[in-house]
Structures are given as structure tokens and as C-alpha cells.
Structure 1
Amino acid sequence: MLRIHFGAVDLGRIHIAPGPDPAWEALLSLHALAGHDEDVGLRSWRDRLRGELAPAARPLLRLAPPRGYSPDFLTPAQGVDSMESGIELILSTPRTQLRTDLATLGSERRLPSWAEVLANGRPEALRGLGHALRGYHEQALAPHWSRIRAAVDAERELRARAFLAGGTDRLLGSLHPTVRWEPPVLLVSYPVDSELRLEGRGLRLVPSFFCRGTPITLRDTTRSPVLVYPVARSITALEPAPVAGTDRLARLLGRTRAAALYMIADAEHTTGNEIARRLEISPASVSEHATVLRDAGLIHSLRVRNTIRHTLTPLGLGLLEGRPTVRQDACCH
């Protein structure tokens, strides 16, 4: 059992990560990739990636084993909003922490020879780690990032509603089936007995797509407190998108519009030019279809300089997965 002790100040310093944390998703997806549990929602993703994982990324599996301790420095305590910013923080880890974290890992399992070079903060080892993390993210996570983000955004909406309906008690009390709120202590089912005293530092809640089973936190209790917990996701969340024109959405939205929605679901921040090129339609037609999808609440569109980038909303994700989804502006009790 993990016991998180709150003080009065801590209750006012709870905040939820603004989106999926790329560093945590990378670490936890490595756990899922190397693990043997029967998570049917990740089975096809795991099977494909095990056969195709780039050689440069394979050392990460030794650094982040599916059971036991993984080095805290792989998940910066302050959180990151992009893999690049996460890599920058990871590579700037003080040598003392590198040595401490890798020594802790080494006390539980035999480490490869390169781990000692990394523990000493050698520049070539750090560059290799950055290259491995960057390549892994591009191969394993980036193609699915819009779906990962949509699942996390949906969870954030649930937490917001819980807080509005019942304040901090409802927020913490409904966090996850393995979590129980007995003020002033949050009880979390955990592999080992552990105490985390917040002592005015507050708590950062991180909803995670790849977190499995029970929530997780850092072993080093002197770092900024964080609790990472699983979000609900469809068992087909990482399945390849169906071909447009062969499913129900093509009949509902039309073949081209359905194809555009699937494209936006399958790639992070899809641009209008990418949609036009792949669907062989004009940019004006893409703009028209995107306007309809946006007005229906299925996508978000953001202008970055001269480019429009589209991402899926939780409502759009629900439509693709065939499950009921409540519009953000719908009235609820």
C-alpha cells in the first residue's frame, strides 16, 4: 500500500497534467512492451513493435524493466509537454542522481556494461540515450499520439466534472478503483508499502494511457510528488484505423470525410496539406471537410504560422471507437 499524506496546504496544490506526459508514456510503454500480461488493448501494438523495434532503442528495455524499479531520472518530476523537452531534462540529470538511480537499478538486476558509462555522465553515453529515446518515441508513440492525447483529455474532463460536483473529496475519491481517499490520506494499492508525505509540496496527477493496473509514483520521495494513474481506453485503441469506405462512418459522414477523420486519429497534429496529398483532394476541399468536423466537435484545429494542424477530440475518438461520448457543452447531473 502507498499512503500519500496531505496537509491543508497540499489540498489546494493538487493539479492535473495538461496532457499526456511523453516521458512517462515512453517509460510505461516500455514496461508494456517487455511485459507478459494479457492487456488485449495493447496486444497488436506490442506484437508489431517487438518485431520491428529499431536496434538503437533496444537498450531502453534493459533500462526500464517491466517489473521492479525503473530509474527516476527517466521521468522528470516537473513533467514535460514534448519528448524533446523531456530528453533535454533527462540528459541534464546531475551525475549524482544518475549514479544513485542506476545503483538502485543494479541492486535489483544485473546491468549491461554501458550502464556504468551512463552513470558517470559520459557525453557519448548521454547522446546515445537521447538518440534511443527520440527514436523510440517516433516509432512507438508518435503514430498514435492523437489517440493517446484524446484518451487523456477525456480523463481530464472526468476529473474536472468530479471536482465541480464534489470538490477535492470527489476528485480524489473517484480517481481510480485501486485508490481510496480517507482524509487526509490517499491510499493506493501498491506492490510495496510506502509513505509519501507531501509537506506542502502538493501533488501532480498524471493520467496515463500506458499505465497498467495500479498507479505509480517516483521512488525518491524528495522529488516533486507525482501520481501517475491509468486512464480508460478502448481495447482497440491502438488498432490500425479501418480503410475508409468499408465501415459505418463512411456511410454516416461520407467516404472522404471519414477518411480525413481516420487520418487525423492516426497521426499527431495532421496538417491540411497532408490530408490533401494522401486523399488526392484540393486544399479547399480539405478546409471544407475540416470545418464540418470541427463544428461537430470531432476535431480541434490550430494554426501554427501558415499551417493548420488538426487533432482528434474525445468526442471524435468516441465516434471512431463506437462508444457513447458526452459533448463538452452537454448538460450533465
Structure 2
Amino acid sequence: MSCKRLLFALLIATSLLLEVQQACEYLQSGTSTTFNIGYPGPIKELIWRRKSEMIFRMKGGKQVEGQVLEIIGGSLKLSNLTASHDGTYEGEAFGNDGKSHKSEKRTICVMDKVTKPKVLVNCTGPTLTCSGVTLSPTLTFTWQQNRKEVPGTARTLGPKLKQPSRYSCTAKNQVSKETSAEIEVDCRGNNPGQSLWTLPGFEFWTTVLILAGGGTLLLVLFVVIVVCICRRQRHELNLQREEEELRLANLTHCQQPHPPGHHSRQAPPPKGHPGQHGNMHSEDQPPALPKPRGHNRPRPRPPHPQGPPPGPGASAPTAQAQEGATPRKGPRPQRS
């Protein structure tokens, strides 16, 4: 490698190192700042760069390239600063004669405002912790005892604490600082600085969330157990009810009289033969035949036309008497 290339690489490294070591101007987020161009004459062409990259170019009074930015007389104004605006800014203006004029470089670092901290007490040590702030490498802490600053810049103070005493902490960065409320620390007995509802090592709202979550979980578990017990009891009652209904149905079926025709009707044994067939069922006996009417009941004799019949000693009637008798109407029924 030639000496020229080595020299060129050395110059580039030196420029990068100088840019890195450029003093950072810390600005609070949400604020605004203006980068002045520092060119008094009329501007024919204007260029703004951030981290050596062009972000805006204007020529002939009109923007031709880059982002939409707020330009006032050639100066660059940034409003509502955030961490995305961090970097080194440099402007370059060209006059009507074509000569270039560069502005001074400025490096900005945008940081958030420090939130108000609070002191947490742990009587195990005892130790004090400055909590409730967003930690960052540029954040520092200081402690006050009875409104007098004590040595130490750590976030935690202890374990040698003077008791009883009132303590507070201050959190600070390059753009702001906040001091906590003062609390009394006395771990020899009850500690008024630590709430009874605060778990050791946790903040108040963290403790509330933990307790609320545990209570909700226990409530859900209790409801599930109660529902399971109720369903089991209901299932057992349904089974018991079905068994009782089935037992009642069987009992009713056994006691119900048989409908007509279910069994063949038993005919009584014939009169006058009580012991002829013994215990023979009525289904094995032949049906009884109807008795003839002529053999059982004698036919009455017709009355005598002229009076009662003669006795055993009387004589038979004469033929004339028989001729004078009234003839019988209709044919005489035949004897069967």
C-alpha cells in the first residue's frame, strides 16, 4: 500500500474521531432548537446535512431534494425534539458569486425529562432504594438526610442508616432533575416509611397488581370448584330420580289387572260331575252342548173341550159328542 493511501486513511480516521468526540449539546425532548446558517448575503443554493448526509436542498428559492423541514432565512429549525433527532448538523450556503459558506457544526443529544422518584424502604438491611425513574447511563442519584446531602451517588443507600431520620433522593440527568418526597425511616419498630400494603422489594402499584391478580385467580378457581360440585350433585339427583321412577313403573306394572282376553276364560266344571276330571284346566275341557228342549220339559196336554177329563171310572165320550166339539185352529204342532 502506498504512502498516499495510508495518509488518506489516517485523515479519514482522524475526522471520524473528531466527530465522535464532538461535544454533545443535551436538549430535553419536546423542546425546539434552531441551527443558524450565519451567511448574511442572498442565498442562491442551500444545503443542510445531518451525520454527513444531505437532508435538505434548496435552489432558486425552491426545495428540490430532501425532507420537508422548516427553513427560516436559511437557518434550520427543529421542533418537538425526540431521540430520532440526535446527530451532528451542518449547513452550506452558496451566494450569487458561487462561493460556499459552511455553518458551524452542532451535535445535539435529546433526552427525556426525569420523572419524580420515590423512596422504598427495606428493613432487612436496612436499605433505601430510589425507585420510579427510567434508568439510563447518564442518570445520577443523590441522597438527603434531614434535608442535608449525604455522601454517595448510588441508587441504593445503606445498610448503615441513622434511625430515626427523614430521607429523600434526587434523580438527575443532563436536562432535568427531580426530588422525591421525604419519608421517616425507623426500622427498630413499625416502619412508617413503608406501606403495610407494599411487599418487600416491590412498589405500591406493583404490589396492588400482584394481589389483584392472585385474588382474581383464587376467585376463578373457587367458581370452577363450586360449578363442578353443583353439576355433580345435580347428576346424582337425576340418577336417583330415574331409579325411583323405574322402580315405581315396575311396581305399577305388576299390580295392574290383566286386560280381557289376556288369558283364556276358565269355564266352571259341569254340575253333577264334581270329581270327574279332578283338577283339569278349563282349556282342556270341551265346551258344553245345548240341551234339547223337548226331552227335558214335557209338553202340556190340551184342555178338554167340554170340561175336565173323566176320571178313571168314567166312560169314553161318544162320537157325536166328539163331532159337536169345536175344532182346533191351526195345524197341530208336531212332537219332536
TM-score range, shorter chain: under 0.3
Greater strand share, structure number: 2
Bigger relative contact order, structure 1 or 2 (CA pairs below 8 A, ≥6 apart) = 1
Structure-2-length-normalised TM-score: 0.22
Structure-1-length-normalised TM-score: 0.23
Larger Rg: 2
